[in-house]
Amino acid sequence: MGANFKNKNLVNRYIKKKLDIVLLIFIPIIFLWHPNWLGFLGVQPYWPLFWLLPWSIINGPVNGLIFGLFLGLILDSLTLDSNFTQIPGLILCGFWFGRVKLNSNVLVGHFRYGLICSFGSFLCGTIYFLQILFKNFSESSLLLLISSVQNILAEVFLTGFLAPFFCSQLLIFFKYPGRKVQ
């Protein structure tokens, strides 16, 4: 009984300590789940950035770059478009997010997360769109432009809108793994 309790306690402590990695595993699950009620014009927020921003802020640009690559590898394996990749956008975002400094003003910090994630989502969306455009370059590629711009703008809006909430919470989780969120 005592040993069982001790083991359980150890597992709990380990999970709390490694919560960032545990949450990383759940990003592809949310990516697959694609909750429609959280969408806007059928578009979802760009989920990986919510995890990547707090992780990179705490662990620096090199770790951000490495985990951007890891996230890109996982997400690419879940999408069917074998010709296009999300890796360059996520690597750039990971590196850039790592250079962001925490702001002492909590309110300004919240809005900064929104703005940074919006710009990150714009960067990733644009890089992805450019790949599609290069691959399908023809007269009909002009038709792609309207829907793609709509996709990018909807994604930028949603990501920026939800980032203050998700990023602030995750930042607290990652920085103080044992602390209870009120």
Partner 1 sequence: MLDIRRISSSRWWHKKKNWILLTIFLFLVFIRISKGSIYKDFYYFISKPFWPGQFQKEIILKSIDQESLIKLNLLKSDNNRLRKILSLQESSPDNISAAVISRKTGSWWRQILLNKGSKDGVEIGSTVVGPGGLLGRVKNTSLFTSSVTLLTSPESKVGVWVNRIQINGLLVGLGDDFPSLILYSKDADIKVGDFVSSSPASTLLPPNIPIGFVQSIDEPIKAKKIAKISLLAKPQVIDWVQILKTKI
Contact footprint for partner 1 (CB under 8 A): 28-29, 32-34, 36, 39, 41-44, 66, 69-70, 73-74, 76-81, 83-84, 128-129, 132, 136, 139-140, 143-144, 146-148, 150-151, 154-155
Instruction: Give the residue with the Cβ less far from partner 1, 57 or 159.
Output: 159
Min separation Cβ 61 and partner 1, Å: 15
Nearer to partner 1, 10 or 41 (CB): 41
In degrees, rounded to 5, the angle at the alpha carbon of residue 151 between the alpha carbons of residues 85 and 112 is 85
SS3 of residue 43 by DSSP: strand
Pick the closer one to partner 1 by CB: 28 or 109. 28
User: Which spans in 83-105 are helix H?
Assistant: 87-98
| In the block, residue with structure tokens 């709509």 | 150
Q: In Å, how far from its chain's centre is CA 36?
A: 18
Distance CA 97, CA 58 (A): 10
Nearest distance in Å: CB 116, partner 1: 20
**Shortest distance in whole angstroms from residue 43 CB to partner 1:** 4
Q: To the nearest whole angstrom, how small is the minimum distance from the Cβ of residue 79 to partner 1?
A: 5
Inter-residue contact 64 to 91 (CB < 8 Å): no
Q: Which one, 66 or 100, has the nearer CB to partner 1?
A: 66
H-only helix segments in 18-105: 19-33, 48-78, 87-98
